[in-house]
Amino acid sequence: MNCPNFDNRVAGEVCLAVIHAISLPPNRFGGDAVERLFTNTLDPDAHPFFREIHGLRVSAHYFIRRDGKLIQFVQPEMRAWHAGVSSWRGRERCNDFSIGIELEGCDTLPFEPVQYEVLADLLADLCSRFPIEGITGHSDIAPGRKTDPGPMFAWGRLKRILEARHGARLAGLIEPQAEEPADEPLRMAWPFPMDERPE
């Protein structure tokens, strides 16, 4: 992806991975609006919400779609613009030292199992290349300002997959201790018409 929204990391090593969730328009999956937002090609007339956000200059290093497709926007060695005003272990401006990973998702629907698997393997790869000391959520480094990855993101599930595939040390890097949502029953009670089901 030809994403221009990055620059050089100013100082220090990458030591943090930040998990995000995004859907554009909100709560709709499968379109190309996230790619367009991160490449500054979002059409402000395509949806009312796009009018508010099309001028943003933002990015993440990676985007994991509902079907598990992994898209890279920015090289992890470079600084992407995903965290905004943020703080981790007393350090401000988390973009400087973090890698941002967006999952296609929202606050009301469970994430797809394959998204956790792709995320776990991506995190393991990144941890082998960078001295990552923590894996956390956007809401944890920007509390009160950001809510993603949101209540449907199952940190316990990610932890179990990381541990099973890549060992306890990597699983131990996960910082949030959130309650796990009961995502399988929610999958069965799909709240939208089936033709809106994003797959």
Eight-state DSSP code of residue 111:
P
What are φ and ψ of residue 103, in 5° steps?
-105, 140
The kind and range of the H/E element at 49 are: helix 48-53
**Please, which of residues 93-112 interact with Zn ion by CB under 5 A?**
none
Give the residue closest to Zn ion by C-beta.
20
- Residue of 54, 66, 79, 138 that binds Zn ion (CB under 5 A): 138
Eight-state DSSP code of residue 91:
E
**Please, which of residues 12-31 interact with Zn ion by CB under 5 A?**
20
**Shortest distance, CB of residue 42 to Zn ion, whole angstroms?**
17
Cβ closer to Zn ion: 35 or 148?
148
For residue 97, give every residue at least 6 positions away whose Cβ sits within 8 Å of its Cβ, in sequence order, or none: 9, 12, 13, 14, 15, 16, 91
Active site includes 117? no
Q: Which of 35, 52, 92, 102 is an active site residue?
A: 102
Cβ closer to Zn ion: 65 or 138?
138
Q: Does 148 bind Zn ion (CB under 5 A)?
A: yes
Cβ closer to Zn ion: 1 or 164?
1
Q: Of 40-48, 68-76, 127-135, 141-149, which part binds Zn ion (CB under 5 A)?
A: 141-149
Count of residues touching Zn ion (by CB under 5 A): 3
Exposure class string for 6-28: b at 16+ Cβ within 10 A, else e = beebeeeebbbbbbbbbbbeeeb
**How far is the C-alpha of 68 from the C-alpha of 31, rounded, in Å?**
14
Cβ closer to Zn ion: 59 or 170?
59
Locate 77 and state its tokens.
Answer: 């060695």
Q: Name the residues that contact Zn ion, by CB under 5 A.
A: 20, 138, 148
Show which residues are catalytic: 102
